[in-house]
Amino acid sequence: MSRAAVFRRDGWTCQLCGGPIDRAVKFPKSGSASLDHVVPLSHGVGTPGHVLSNCQAAHLGCNSSKGNKV
């Protein structure tokens, strides 16, 4: 699984707020691209893990706000 595949699949749209992700915005800016785990890895054993179906595109700020919630 690649990060690029997730962003292509999601059309460079934040799956948390619905806004466009600007590829030119770089980390650590709030609007930069980040990879969100739908079911956080911190939920432990039995979670889907780091697989394409459990990942989605998100703004860094939106992802940080979500924290480890589902």
What separation in angstroms does the CA of 12 have from each of 4, 45, 46?
Answer: 10, 30, 29
Tens-digit pLDDT profile for residues 6-23 = 999 999 999 999 999 999
Task: Please count the structural domains in the chain.
Answer: 1
Q: Is the pLDDT score of 61 beyond 80?
A: yes
Indicate the pTM of the whole model: 0.89
Q: Which element (helix H / strand E) includes 60? A: helix 60-66
Phi, psi of 39 (to 5 degrees): -100, 110
DSSP state of 27: T
Owning domain of residue 61:
3-66
Tell me the sheet residues that pair with 18. Answer: none
Tens-digit pLDDT profile for residues 17-55 = 999 999 999 999 999 999 999 999 888 877 788 899 999
- Separation between Cα atoms, residue 7 and residue 44, nearest integer Å: 25
